[in-house]
Amino acid sequence: MQVSDFNYDLPQELIAQTPMEPRDHSRLLVVDKETGKIEHRHFYDLPNYLRPDDLLVFNDTRVIPARLHGVKDTGAKAEIFLLTRLNATDWEVLVKPGRRLRTGAVINFSEDLSCEILDNTEFGGRIARFKFEGVFEEILDRLGETPLPPYITEQLEDKERYQTVYSRDKGSAAAPTAGLHFTRELLQKVKDMGCEEVFVTLNIGLGTFRPVSVENIEDHVMHKEFYTITPEAADAINKAKAAGRRIVSVGTTAVRTLEAAATAGNGIIKPGAAWTDIFIYPGYKFKMIDALVTNFHLPQSTLLMLVSTLSTREIMLKTYEEAVKQKYRFFSFGDAMFITDNL
């Protein structure tokens, strides 16, 4: 299957630059994954499409202020983008300017924070070792900038709008954007109708924005991401699945977490933490997920391939064509889609 099989035309003006206010007033396109039937609603209508015994799975990761501006010993400016924490001092990072930041280079950010480039990574990044005085997270909160996706060019006035209301576990370079539509009131409404809400954690790297650079999708290699599932979450998910209840994933990162864990556990979710580079594209058979709340994804992206797997490529491309026609807002700050059954 070719990457070009997942292309669609998107006018630039449909890429959302600012979030909708209030959060749950974004539009919601509901699509039947089997028939392709579509209904146009708003996100606050989501409970109308949920069932009292549904189990919803959320990713509670929180975006860190991952962009740091510093100066080399030579006086030249440098930028470090934190991707993945490897241990207490070492991170996988992206650097600017890439050619000039070689192994051994030292970047100073403040009197209490600096780093040294230790090695190159296979994805064009670096391994950096940080030296700091005090608590690293507190220094990062003071010096770092919260990154926004490259297609968002406007400044964000309220940084919390690029966090979900239930974000808790710091560690991501990007937000699990399907969750941005939920308000605390909507979460309570979903719970009050009898749905169960479970939280897992997957720390999102910039691989989520990485374009597929090969022609055959089978040749694409995903960037690894770290996930954690508590014993309580694993137990709730396994019980729901065994009882035949519907598992609704809020976002593609929760999908990757559950499917990676289910693959490792032969269909059973086991508690713990692990790295995953799971790549879900047509042909994959889902082990856990039955329905999905998600945003609209980039053309030819791995995320568009994932949602096409839950439905079909033909249905998804036709749905995206309708979304463009109806002028839905796309990508991180855009509108939402609910891929469901029996619509």
- pLDDT per residue over 126-167, tens digit each? 999 999 999 998 999 899 988 888 788 887 888 899 999 999
One domain, residues 34 and 130: no
What percent of the chain has pLDDT above 70? 99
Distance of CA 338 to the CA centre of its chain: 16
One domain, residues 139 and 249: no
Q: Work out the pLDDT band at 123, boundaries 50, 70, 90.
A: confident
Q: Is the pTM of this model over 0.85?
A: yes
Task: Give the per-residue pLDDT at 173.
Answer: 86
- For residue 23, CA distances in Å to 160, 162, 179, 207, 288 come to 12, 11, 10, 26, 28
Query: Cβ(283)–Cβ(301) under 8 Å?
Result: no
One domain, residues 206 and 322: yes
Backbone angles phi, psi at 12, to 5 degrees: -55, -35
One domain, residues 213 and 298: yes
Domain that holds residue 233: 3-63+157-340
One domain, residues 59 and 75: no
One domain, residues 97 and 131: yes
Q: Is the predicted pLDDT of residue 333 greater than 80, yes or no?
A: yes
Q: Indicate whether 148 belongs to any domain.
A: no
User: Of 83, 108, 143, which one is at a domain's C-terminal end?
Assistant: 143
One domain, residues 209 and 95: no
One domain, residues 41 and 127: no
Q: Is 104 helix (H, G, I), strand (E, B) or coil?
A: coil
Q: Is the predicted pLDDT of residue 254 greater than 70, yes or no?
A: yes
Q: Is the predicted pLDDT of residue 278 greater than 80, yes or no?
A: yes
Domain with 95 in it: what CATH number? Answer: 2.40.10.240
Total of domains in the chain: 2
Task: Give the per-residue pLDDT at 208.
Answer: 65
One domain, residues 34 and 102: no
Average pLDDT of the chain?
93
One domain, residues 226 and 112: no
Alpha carbons 222 and 231: distance in angstroms, whole number:
27
Task: Give the per-residue pLDDT at 320.
Answer: 97
Q: Going by C-beta distance under 8 Å and a sequence separation of 6 or more, which residues neighbour residue 148?
A: 156, 162, 332
One domain, residues 277 and 191: yes
One domain, residues 122 and 261: no
Angle at 182 between CA 168 and CA 170, to 5 degrees: 15
Query: Cβ(65)–Cβ(172) under 8 Å?
Result: no
